[in-house]
Amino acid sequence: MKNIGFIGLGIMGKPMAFNLLKAGYTLYVNDLDKEAVKKVSAMGGIPATYQEISEQCNVIITMLPNGSVVKKVLFDASGIAKYSSPGTIICDMSSVTVSESKECFERLKKMNIRFMDAPVSGGEEGAVNGTLAIMCGGDQKTFDDLKFCFNILGNSAVLVGPNGSGSTAKLVNQIIVNLNIAAVSEAFVLGAKSGADPEKIYQAIRGGLAGSAVLDAKVSRMCSRNFAPGGKISINHKDIKNALETAHFLDVPVPFTAQLFEIQQALKVSGHSEEDHSAYVKYFEQLANITV
């Protein structure tokens, strides 16, 4: 049975680690948050250093805040790459830029360490339920060798293309999801300002073309004022920044995405960055002086 290393036990990583443990795998775990490590250890995870993870595991998953942290964990003097054996698979499920994924692949390739970028969509609920959508960049053999993990963590895993393609798909996903939430927010503020019942509006439109997973997931949060984070604005702000940087590098104009970044920035300044991204509605509520 494979030993799996798991580094990064945040909102997404912790339930993902739980699911791998429940499936019966031996899991060596590491995170700067010692309380998170304790919780996973109580489920059977084995606290370990980077060296111990590298020496014990032939598959290592990283689920970290950004590309800079991923590179630090992999390539610092006492990082994962220093101790990993040739043939080890490192699967980065973090949301990073395309260039960062490609850099990790190229550097690890020189060490005969296999790499796959495999960011996810589905938020905390998807991580808990094992229903994440997993977007993969790499070669077919590495993808096939990781399917046993993907089948536990998600309900779909697609090999999009070579290394960097998973991160590209994630940026596309984040643009669509976040703009959709912003559009729902703007529209429901209009509905509330007109005096209509937001819940009745939702019931009226959800079966038509306006219906979406975002509509189903976020309207109830807006109406109940439940902004406990499933997908933090701060994390999505980082993802949209990555999307803008990639788009600018490729000379692709993304005016809606640029406007969204400024909405996120305004919510950061007003103290809402650690709330769920359904709190985009607060930006539009402030403009219209109304609460949904």
The pLDDT tens digits of the residues spanning 82-116 come to 999 999 999 999 999 999 999 999 999 999 999 99
- Read off the pLDDT of each residue in 251-264 and give the average, rounded to a whole number: 98
d(CA 158, CA 68): 25
Q: Is the torsion defined by CA of 11, 32, 234, 172 positive or negative?
A: negative
Residue 7, SS3 per DSSP: strand
d(CA 56, CA 26): 10
**What element of type H or E holds 47?**
strand 46-47
Residues 6 or more apart whose CB falls under 8 angstroms from that of 76 comprise: none
Indicate which residue of 102, 170, 218, 282 is catalytic. Answer: 170
Residue 154, SS3 per DSSP: strand
Position 201 scores a pLDDT of 97
Q: Catalytic: 170? A: yes
How much is the mean pLDDT over the chain? 96
pLDDT confidence band for 276 (50 / 70 / 90): very high
Residues 166-224 pLDDT 10s = 999 999 999 999 999 999 999 999 999 999 999 999 999 999 999 999 999 999 999 99
230-242 burial, b for 16+ CB within 10 Å, e for fewer? bbbbbbbbbbbbb
Position 75 scores a pLDDT of 97
In the chain the domains, ranked by start, together with CATH numbers, are 3-162 (3.40.50.720), 169-288 (1.10.1040.10)
Single out the residue of 187, 173, 188 nearest to residue 243, CA to CA.
173
Position 2 scores a pLDDT of 80
d(CA 168, CA 101): 10
